[in-house]
């Protein structure tokens, strides 16, 4: 039996982890699933959240699959296949990763291993599509252009005309992509998987060694058009045992725009009443929920031109 590989890509805060949790709970129960989680930053947060789903997780946190980690990623994938022999591997690249490079890394392994490249999905926040496409196009648009299926999140917050404009732009960029627009709450995980197009990744990404060398040579010299995520984005992350009050976290998150262009903040923290809180922030949207205790608190803020000393003072860590 071949192991299926599914890539679930998406820009910062689009909802990748939420989608994966839904699929695990509704569609992949009973299957032997391993998640390879690549977060941009030094501290794994989403992996800790997903561990509650009871699946095996391999975290790669020291960089992006698409930049410095291609060797580590290849080794991790081979090790997962050897150690767990899973039916399915879910790969969740960093939100600022380039999907085209993740595809190449997977395809290279698939040519030499008994795996089947199955789904290549990008999750995109419909409400922020225009802004992210315009301001972070090198990373955001790459994920749209190279997906076989684009799953739009937060579509219920757009009127029909604006949603239609987003779908048109996606089809203009990527005419072959399937686009899912129905709010997730109305869809089962099985429906989402059935709507997602099976990926012809190998046909598209089967590069010869010579072609890969030429591409890397081009990217190395053409600094004006090829940037690594760690050149374009800042990350501030810290582990802390500090206890917070729930409303204190909300007040802190509301102040984040004062500390740079904050695209994403997330964390797991202990509360003064003995509970634990998981929080998420994207521009103009704050969410939180109480969770089971974790081994320590973790905070992570991603954006550009971050005031890192200010963030340390803001959180008091």
End-to-end CA distance of the chain: 49
Give the integer Cα–Cα distance in Å for 268 and 294: 8
Identify the CA nearest to 17 among candidates 48, 54, 56. 48
The per-residue pLDDT for range 250-290, each reduced to its tens digit, is: 999 999 999 999 988 989 999 999 999 999 898 888 989 99
Q: Are strands 178-180 and 149-153 parallel, antiparallel or unpaired?
A: parallel
| Residue stretches of the chain with pLDDT short of 70 | 1, 39-72, 111-112, 200-231
Question: 268: part of which helix (H) or strand (E)?
Answer: strand 261-271
Chain centroid to CA 156: 21
Instruction: Tell me what pLDDT residue 180 has.
Output: 96
Tally of residues, the chain: 317
Share of the chain above pLDDT 90, in %: 40
At 71, list the tokens.
């060797």
Question: Is the pTM of the predicted complex or chain greater than 0.75?
Answer: yes
Alpha helices in the chain (DSSP H): 16-26, 46-50, 70-84, 99-110, 129-135, 137-145, 160-173, 189-195, 201-205, 209-221, 229-232, 246-254, 308-315
Report helix, strand or coil for 12.
coil
């Amino acid at each position: 039996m071949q192991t299926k590989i599914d890539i679930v890509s998406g820009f910062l805060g689009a909802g990748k982890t939420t989608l994966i949790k839904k699929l695990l709970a509704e569609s992949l129960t009973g299957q032997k699933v391993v998640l390879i989680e690549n977060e941009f930053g030094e501290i794994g947060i989403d992996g800790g959240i997903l561990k509650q789903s009871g699946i095996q997780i391999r975290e790669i946190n020291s960089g992006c699959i698409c930049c410095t980690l291609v060797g580590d990623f290849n080794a991790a994938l081979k090790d997962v296949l050897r150690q767990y022999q899973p039916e399915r591997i879910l790969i969740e690249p960093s939100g600022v990763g380039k999907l085209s490079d993740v595809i190449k890394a997977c395809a290279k392994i698939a040519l030499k291993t008994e795996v089947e490249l199955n789904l290549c999905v990008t999750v995109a926040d419909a409400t922020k599509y225009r802004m992210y496409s315009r301001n972070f196009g090198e990373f955001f648009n790459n994920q749209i252009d190279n997906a076989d299926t684009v799953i739009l999140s937060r579509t219920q917050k757009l009127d029909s005309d604006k949603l239609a404009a987003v779908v048109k732009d996606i089809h203009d960029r990527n005419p072959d992509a399937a686009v899912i627009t129905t709010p997730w709450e109305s869809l089962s995980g099985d429906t989402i998987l059935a709507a997602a197009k099976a990926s012809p990744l190998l046909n598209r990404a089967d590069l010869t060694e010579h072609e890969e060398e030429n591409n890397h040579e081009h990217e190395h010299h053409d600094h004006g058009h090829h940037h690594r995520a760690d050149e374009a984005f800042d990350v501030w992350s810290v582990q802390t045992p500090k206890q917070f009050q729930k409303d204190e976290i909300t007040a802190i998150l509301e102040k984040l725009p004062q500390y740079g262009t904050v695209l994403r903040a997330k964390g797991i923290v202990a509360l003064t009443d003995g509970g634990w809180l998981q929080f998420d922030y994207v521009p103009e949207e704050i969410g939180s929920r109480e969770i089971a205790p974790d081994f320590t608190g973790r905070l992570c803020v991603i954006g550009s031109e971050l005031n890192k000393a200010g963030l340390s003072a803001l959180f008091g860590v």
